[in-house]
Amino acid sequence: MDAFFLQILNGLDKGGAYALIALGLTIIFGTLGVVNFAHGALFMMGAFCAVTVKALLGLESVREDPTQMTAWGTPVEIREPYVETWFGDFGTFLLDFSVPVSILVALPIMLFIGIAMERGLIRYFYKRPHAEQILVTFGLAIVLQEIVKSIFGANPIPQPAPDVARGMIDFGVSIGFDAGNVVYPAWRLIYFLFSLAVIGAVFAFLQFTTFGMVVRAGMADRETVGLLGIDIDRRFTIVFGIAAVVAGLAGAMYTPILSPDYHMGMDFLVLSFVVVVVGGMGSLGGAVAAGFLLGVLQSFASMNEVKAILPGIDQIIIYLIAVVILLVRPRGLMGRKGVMEH
């Protein structure tokens, strides 16, 4: 039972990342009608915002100590981060909290990247076939990946969570398990709550603001909204920026869970498309529900008890579910009629 519960928790934090990426993909698809294969790269760019913030905060003064030599005969370098020299304890605190701090930096940067991407490239492909949109966004993803690799190298870069969130939380005691049976890493629980908060914010934005209302109207009938004198294109540009921010924040907060490298976006991209398809193209609720659902099912499929009956199921479960859903409900769990059907 405790193992079962642990896998649910595990699926939820994984599902949080899937849901956030799928949410952005669905927003872009629903508003702009673009299949964005560069969305995984936006997740990766967000993660590298965190890496950059840590690198900048960690900039060090270097002085050589002539009394000590390296193994190759040069003086040993003594390094000290500037923020610690300048701000003392507050500097140490900033270094420790570099991942949460990077959220504040990632927000404007990702918004800018999203808007630049839409204005500079994507908008020229609105009226082109989906196949061409896929090719150009996939190409863009590779370009972004290679840029990141040329700057940061190919190896994963460790990105620790703040000290206070590095431990485990004995989650089980509060729901009646014995102490020590259901313990879970604090940062993963934080990530799950964070993903819920971001999802809530996006839904609230679309549901309760005038801007959101116009966007939803545009999703339903772009032409009519245009005829009413509203510049829907400009709003959609901002929507693209918001989707980039969601992916970027998801990436930045994920770095303590998965040391970022240039390829991490691609790993998530394919899964996220499956999530979108299972949830139903164009359905925001469907994307979120399918994200969590697939995360949990993937965790269950990795349990030894399940693998003993169906070896290798952990590697195909996501695709298996996609096949079943597409056979039984071709529009996905919560898909709307008319999306991608003409």
Interface with other proteins by CB under 8 A: which residues?
A: 2-3, 6-7, 9-11, 13-14, 70-74, 76-77, 149, 153-158, 160, 166-168, 181, 183, 185, 187-188, 256-259, 261, 263-264, 267-268, 298-299, 302-304, 307, 314-315
User: Nearer Cβ to other proteins, position 135 or 257?
Assistant: 257
Contacts 24+ apart (CB under 8 A), 210-216: 211/235, 211/238, 215/31, 215/239
CA–CA distance, 159 with 39 (Å, rounded to integer): 22
Q: Which residues contact 281 (CB under 8 A, 6 or more apart)?
A: 26, 29, 331, 332, 335, 339, 340
CB of 142 to other proteins, least distance (A): 11
User: Nearer Cβ to other proteins, position 85 or 315?
Assistant: 315
CB of 339 to other proteins, least distance (A): 30
> Is 295 in contact with 321 (CB distance < 8 Å)?
no
Residue pointed to by tokens 């994307």: 287
H/E segment holding residue 67 = strand 60-69
CB of 263 to other proteins, least distance (A): 7
**Side chain identity, residue 275:** V
> Is 98 in contact with 57 (CB distance < 8 Å)?
yes
Q: Which residues contact 52 (CB under 8 A, 6 or more apart)?
A: 102, 105
CB of 83 to other proteins, least distance (A): 18
User: Nearer Cβ to other proteins, position 81 or 156?
Assistant: 156
Residue pointed to by tokens 């096949």: 323
Burial (CB count <10 Å: 0-12, 13-18, 19+), residue 111? middle
User: Nearer Cβ to other proteins, position 194 or 236?
Assistant: 194
CB of 195 to other proteins, least distance (A): 14
Count helices and strands (H / E) in the chain: 14, 4
CB of 101 to other proteins, least distance (A): 18
CB of 259 to other proteins, least distance (A): 6
User: Nearer Cβ to other proteins, position 71 or 227?
Assistant: 71
User: Nearer Cβ to other proteins, position 11 or 30?
Assistant: 11
User: Nearer Cβ to other proteins, position 116 or 302?
Assistant: 302
CB of 84 to other proteins, least distance (A): 17
CB of 16 to other proteins, least distance (A): 12
Give Cα separations from 332 to 83, 167, 220, 251, 314 (angstroms). 51, 39, 18, 26, 22
User: Nearer Cβ to other proteins, position 105 or 306?
Assistant: 306
User: Nearer Cβ to other proteins, position 214 or 318?
Assistant: 318
Nearest one of 54, 57, 74 to 65, comparing CA atoms: 74
Assigned token pair, 112: 């800018």
